[in-house]
């Protein structure tokens, strides 16, 4: 059964706005800290804020909850979090466009037609073994013919 979802399309300058907000309020990590977080697989402050903006645009998070999460996740003060939330609403969230709802299908259990059961692998049968004494020794190649000085060259055709 398809589920209708509207997809948000954010303004092109959204990453710049997020970085500028964090920079002006002193919440942007220094270069060394930023790289350490990335190496450890942790989320950076711009990433955390971008995810919060996406949740707000989708309606998953309310304005008050956005404010609370900014304070908790970015470790910002109450005034700073309020200013950041207001600027995000003005510069990004109000400018979000939504695409037409697209159908995303949930996987249904498939009905499999009755098939005869076949083993996944063919049965392995070991070849019959013979005792080492019963084996015949391999045939030896005939020895090469010995060359004599007066004989014809084997690679040339005879001259008539």
Question: HSE of 52 in the Cβ direction (CA atoms, 13 Å)?
Answer: 26
pLDDT in tens, 24-43: 999 988 888 888 888 888 89
The pTM (predicted TM-score) of the whole model is 0.58
Q: Which of 25-29, 106-110, 113-117, 133-137 has the highest mean pLDDT?
A: 25-29
Question: Which helix (H) or strand (E) segment is 9 a member of?
Answer: strand 8-9
Measured on CA atoms in the order 126, 128, 133, 136, is the torsion positive or negative? negative
pLDDT at 149 over 60: no
Overall average pLDDT of the 150-159 stretch? 68
pLDDT at residue 24, rounded to an integer: 93
Overall average pLDDT of the 11-30 stretch? 91
* Of residues 68, 40, 38, 36, the one with CA closest to residue 52: 68
pLDDT in tens, 60-70: 999 999 999 99
**Range list of β-strands (E), the chain:** 2-5, 8-9, 97-98, 102-105
pLDDT band at 140 (very low <50, low <70, confident <90, very high): confident
pLDDT in tens, 68-88: 999 999 999 999 999 999 999
* Of residues 133, 56, 57, 58, the one with CA closest to residue 67: 56
């Amino acid at each position: 059964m398809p589920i209708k979802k509207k997809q948000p399309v954010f303004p092109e300058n959204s990453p710049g706005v997020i970085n500028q907000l964090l920079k002006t309020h002193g919440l942007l990590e220094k270069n060394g800290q930023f790289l350490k977080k990335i190496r450890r697989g942790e989320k950076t402050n711009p990433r955390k804020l971008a995810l919060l903006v996406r949740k707000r645009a989708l309606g998953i998070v309310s304005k008050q909850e956005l404010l609370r999460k900014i304070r908790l996740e970015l470790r910002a003060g109450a005034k700073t979090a309020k200013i950041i939330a207001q600027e995000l609403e003005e510069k990004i969230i109000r400018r979000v466009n939504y695409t037409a709802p697209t159908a995303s299908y949930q996987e249904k259990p498939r009905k499999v037609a009755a098939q005869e059961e076949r083993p996944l692998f063919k049965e392995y049968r070991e070849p019959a073994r013979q005792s080492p004494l019963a084996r015949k020794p391999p045939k030896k190649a005939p020895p090469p013919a010995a060359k004599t000085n007066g004989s014809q060259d084997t690679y040339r055709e005879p001259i008539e």
